[in-house]
């Protein structure tokens, strides 16, 4: 018997704009999606995957590698199989329809990373509506790597907030954030130093802003671990955030424990 439902908010983005006017291909990270999802199901919860369009998220090919599973090829194959065939990952719903139907029956919410959320979850008012429910009710809210940028969806004007960050106007972004529900919360997200590595070796391009800068402009108290690409998780009230791909297992553990503690 299920202990309850957990909402997983996925991204449909496959491109991300970069400085100079071009775009790069992107998606969700496989391990950041699957490792927490499998832990949530193993703990006895039912997953409801929802995205802005209702389509299944695209996995960033860069993440389809054993290095993100501790070099374990068997774990990589298991993750691929889970994402390809599990009912939880293959019955996505449209997020607006899930939110409109009501979120009272959900025990918590999880947002995976990869660069994709910067494109479509960050400026999405429906994401903000969903997060507002879990915030108001004090329900466990977990976001991983670039996933915490989705917290900007809860800004007073999320589209304006994102546009201001792209324009490099932090003051205007702070204004667009308004009475952001996570103002003053401790949180983490993919660090500026880690982003420089990703820009150089993966994206081959520069983003318009780094993630800590955006959440700081919104009013968050952003922390990053002392070592790049090492596990780092921050919990403040209902909010649980993980810094990078290596934070997948500790974030999943903290989230499952928070769900259990709430009952």
The pLDDT of residue 104 = 98
- 3-state DSSP call for residue 105? coil
Query: How much is the pTM?
Result: 0.98
pLDDT over 90 (residue 1) = no
| Count of other CB atoms within 10 angstroms of residue 246 | 21
Mean pLDDT, residues 209-222: 98
Mean pLDDT, residues 126-148: 98
Mean pLDDT, residues 85-91: 97
Note the pLDDT tens digit of each residue in 32-61.
999 999 999 999 999 999 999 999 999 999
User: Is the model more confident about 213 or about 1?
Assistant: 213
Give the domain extent around 48: 5-262
pLDDT over 90 (residue 263) = no
Number of structural domains, the chain? 1
User: Given the structure tokens 């704009």, which residue do they identify?
Assistant: 17
Note the pLDDT tens digit of each residue in 176-209.
999 999 999 999 999 999 999 999 999 999 999 9
**Contact in structure between 195 and 206 (CB atoms under 8 Å):** no
Mean pLDDT, residues 170-179: 98
Mean pLDDT, residues 81-97: 98
User: Is the model more confident about 263 or about 31?
Assistant: 31
Mean residue pLDDT across the chain:
98
User: Given the structure tokens 């479509």, which residue do they identify?
Assistant: 120
CATH code where residue 194 lies = 3.40.50.880
Whole-angstrom Cα distance, residue 24 to residue 36?
Answer: 26
Note the pLDDT tens digit of each residue in 13-39.
999 999 999 999 999 999 999 999 999
Strands (E), the chain: 5-9, 15-17, 23-25, 46-51, 93-94, 106-111, 141-144, 186-187, 221-222, 233-236, 239-242
First to last CA, the chain: 14
């Amino acid at each position: 018997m299920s202990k309850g439902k957990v909402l997983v908010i996925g991204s449909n983005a496959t491109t991300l704009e970069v400085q100079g006017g071009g775009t790069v291909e992107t998606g969700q990270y496989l391990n950041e999606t699957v490792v927490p999802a499998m832990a949530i199901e193993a703990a006895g919860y039912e997953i409801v995957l929802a995205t802005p369009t209702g389509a299944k998220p695209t996995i960033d090919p860069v993440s389809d590698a054993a290095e993100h599973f501790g070099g374990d090829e068997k774990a990589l194959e298991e993750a691929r199989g889970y994402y390809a065939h599990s009912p939880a990952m293959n019955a996505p719903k449209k997020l607006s329809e899930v939110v409109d139907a009501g979120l009272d029956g959900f025990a918590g919410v999880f947002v995976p990373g990869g660069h994709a959320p910067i494109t479509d979850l960050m400026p999405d008012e429906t994401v903000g509506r969903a997060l507002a429910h879990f915030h108001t009710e004090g329900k466990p809210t977990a976001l991983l790597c670039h996933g915490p940028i989705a917290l900007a969806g809860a800004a007073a004007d999320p589209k304006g907030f994102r546009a201001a960050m792209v324009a490099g106007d932090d003051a205007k972004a702070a204004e667009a954030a308004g009475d952001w529900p996570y103002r003053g919360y401790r949180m983490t997200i993919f660090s500026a130093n880690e982003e420089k590595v990703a820009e150089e070796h993966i994206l081959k391009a520069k983003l318009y802003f780094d993630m800590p800068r955006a959440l700081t402009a919104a009013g968050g108290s952003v922390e990053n671990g002392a070592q790049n690409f090492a596990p780092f998780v921050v919990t403040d009230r209902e909010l649980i955030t993980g810094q990078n791909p290596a934070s997948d297992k500790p974030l999943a553990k903290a989230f499952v424990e928070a769900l259990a503690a709430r009952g």
